[in-house]
Amino acid sequence: MAVAAAAALRSGYRAAGRLICVCHTRSYSSVCFLKSKYVYAFDKSAFKFNHQHRLFRTSAISKGQIVQFKLSDIGEGITEVTVKEWYVKEGDSVSQFDSICEVQSDKASVTITSRYDGIIRKLYYNLDEIAYVGKPLVDIETDVLKDVAPEEDVVETPAVSHEEHTHQEIKGHKTLATPAVRRLAMENNIKLSEVVGTGKDNRILKEDILNYLAKQTGAILPPSPKSEIIPPLPKLETAPAAPKDKAHRIPVPISKPTVFTGKDKTEPITGFHKAMVKTMSAALKIPHFGYCDEIELNQLVQLREELKPLAQARGVKLSFMPFFLKAASLALLHYPVLNTSVDENCQNITYKASHNIGIAMDTEQGLIVPNVKSVQVRSVFEIASELNRLQSLGSSGQLGTNDLTGGTFTLSNIGTIGGTYAKPVILPPEVAIGALGKIQALPRFNGKGEVFKAQIMNVSWSADHRIIDGATMARFSNLWKSYLENPASMLLDLK
C-alpha cells in the first residue's frame, strides 16, 4: 500500500506539482515528501484522502544488491551458537568491521563483524535464539544508489502554517547516528529526535546521549536493559528570598514514593547450563550413597608451605588440590571399582585404566568439569602445572573438548567458596564423586587428651549404590585420609 501510494504521488507531481522552498511555504492542504532541504507540494485537487495527520513509511524504488551474511565457522568443532546481543537493527547502516552481534557457544563468546558496507535489511534471529554455522545471520543491502534516500517519510497533512511545516521537516528527517549510539538510546528509552547532535552534519554522538541523560537524571547512568529511566520530578516554583536570619535554615528533603520497575523475564537455557540440565537429569536415575568424614591436615599444611617457594620458582602455583588428586589416585589403585563406568541400563561395568580425575570449576559461563589426564603417572608438581593450565583456560572460556571429556572420577572443591559438608551429585557415567569443604582451625584432642589447634577439612562422598557398597566407600575414604594426614606415607606407593 505504501509503495503504491508513493508511486501515485510521484506520478502526480509531474502534472500538478511545483517545487517550493520550506522557508517560503504558505498555508495550504497538501501531501508532502519530507526532505532535509526541500518540500515537494501538490495541489489539493490532484489527491483526496479521508484521514488527516497520518504518517506512513515507504521504501525507495531503487534498491541495491541484497547479500546474505552467513555465520562463519568459529572453530573448535562449534556448529551452533546463541545470539546474546545485537549491535544493529533493521535499517541501520554498517561499514566493514562494524560489530553486528555477539554470539556465545558452549566454550566462549565471539563478536561478529560486518564484511560489507551497506544497510541491514533483515535479522534472522532474536536474542537467545540458536544460530547455526553456515546459515544466514543478517541480510545487508549493498551498493545503494547515491542521492536516493533508502527510506522516506510520507506525511499527509491538513492546512498547516510555516512553523508547522518546519517542525514536520525536522521530524521526518532521518537522524544520523551509529548503531551503537542508537542502541544506547534505545536501552535508555531516549528518542533521538529529542537529542541535539554535535557531530558532523548534526550526527548524534555517544557523548550527546550521555549528556542528555545527565540533564535528565542529574548523573550519567550506565545503560542497563533491566532498569528504566524515571523522569525527573517537575521543578517547583521559585520561593521568595528568605530573610537573612533564616538563610542557614536546613532544607527539608522532598520525599517521593518508591516505585519498583522490575519485570519478570523468561529466557531459554543455553550453553553450559543446557549441558548441565542433561547431565543432572541423567544423574537422578542413580541411587546415591553418602559418606562424610573429617581430615586433620596439619602436616600437609606445613609441607605445602615448604614446597610453595620451590614451585613458584619453577613458575607453578602450588595449592592443596594436587595433593588431594594424587592421594585419590593412590587410593583408587587399591579400590578400582570407584574408577569405573556403567552403561545406561547398568548391565555392564568398565574398569578404567587411566585415572582421569575431574575438578569441578565455577566460571562465569556456569559449572564446568575439566579433568587431569592419567594422574596415576604424574608427579604432584606435574599435576599442579596441569591444574594451572586448566584454571587459566576455564576462566577465559577457552577449554577444549579433550579437557572436558573422558573423566573417570571427580573431586569438587566447594571450600574455595565456603561451606563444610555437601551432597555432591555423581556425573554419569562415573560412579563416585567427592566434595571438599574449607580448611579451618578448630580445637581437637590428641592421644594424651590434650587440646591442640588442628587444621580440619571435611569431605563428603557420593557413590553409585548399585555397584559400590558402604564399606568399600568407607575404606577408600580412610586410605585417602591417611595419605593426607601423613603425606610422607605417599612416598611408599609412588611409582
Q: Are 64 and 144 in contact (CB under 8 A)?
A: yes
pLDDT for res 348: 93
CA–CA dist 399, 401 (Å, integer): 7
Residues 6 or more apart from 434 whose CB is under 8 A from it?
A: 328, 410, 411, 412, 424, 459, 460, 461, 462
Instruction: State whether 329 and 439 are in the same domain.
Output: yes
CA–CA dist 51, 7 (Å, integer): 19
Cell numbers placing 154: 510520507
Assigned domain for 453 exists: yes
Assigned domain for 357 exists: yes
Instruction: State whether 350 and 472 are in the same domain.
Output: yes
Residues 6 or more apart from 412 whose CB is under 8 A from it?
A: 359, 360, 422, 424, 433, 434, 435, 436
Assigned domain for 319 exists: yes
The 10 Å Cβ neighbour count of residue 359 is 21
CA–CA dist 99, 330 (Å, integer): 52
Query: Which residue, of 85, 118, 142, is where some domain finishes?
Result: 142
**Across the chain, what does the average pLDDT equal?**
76
How far lies 289's CA from each of 98, 106, 441, in Å? 55, 31, 29
Instruction: State whether 343 and 413 are in the same domain.
Output: yes
Long-range contacts (CB closer than 8 Å, 24 or more residues apart) made by 196-205: 201/176, 202/176, 203/176, 203/177, 204/175, 204/176, 204/177, 205/181
Query: Which residue, of 167, 192, 216, is where some domain finishes?
Result: 216
Instruction: State whether 331 and 466 are in the same domain.
Output: yes
Q: Which of 208, 179, 180 is nearest to 194 (CA)?
A: 208
Assigned domain for 41 exists: no
pLDDT for res 114: 86
Bridge partners, residue 182, by sequence: none
Q: In CATH, what number is assigned to the domain containing residue 111?
A: 2.40.50.100
Assigned domain for 79 exists: yes
Assigned domain for 196 exists: yes
pLDDT for res 228: 41
Q: In CATH, what number is assigned to the domain containing residue 186?
A: 4.10.320.10
Instruction: State whether 312 and 460 are in the same domain.
Output: yes
Assigned domain for 344 exists: yes
Q: Which of 176, 70, 427 is nearest to 278 (CA)?
A: 427
Instruction: State whether 132 and 201 are in the same domain.
Output: no
pLDDT for res 86: 92
Instruction: State whether 189 and 297 are in the same domain.
Output: no
- CA angle 473–404–106, rounded 5-degree value: 130
Three-state DSSP at 135 gives: coil
Cell numbers placing 117: 558496507
Query: Which residue, of 159, 190, 216, is where some domain finishes?
Result: 216
Residue with cell 614451585: 311
Instruction: State whether 69 and 204 are in the same domain.
Output: no
Q: In CATH, what number is assigned to the domain containing residue 442?
A: 3.30.559.10
Q: Which residues are catalytic?
A: 465, 469
All residue ranges of the chain with pLDDT < 70 are 1-63, 75-77, 106-108, 144-174, 216-257
Report CA torsion sign: 362, 367, 369, 370.
negative
Cell numbers placing 379: 608427579
Instruction: State whether 342 and 414 are in the same domain.
Output: yes
Instruction: State whether 432 and 294 are in the same domain.
Output: yes
Instruction: State whether 328 and 184 are in the same domain.
Output: no
Q: Domain containing 187: what range?
A: 179-216
Instruction: Give the number of domains in the chain.
Output: 3
Instruction: State whether 299 and 183 are in the same domain.
Output: no
CA–CA dist 248, 232 (Å, integer): 27
CA–CA dist 195, 193 (Å, integer): 6
Assigned domain for 44 exists: no
Q: Which of 110, 172, 101 is nearest to 140 (CA)?
A: 101
Q: Which of 164, 137, 487 is nearest to 305 (CA)?
A: 487
pLDDT for res 123: 93
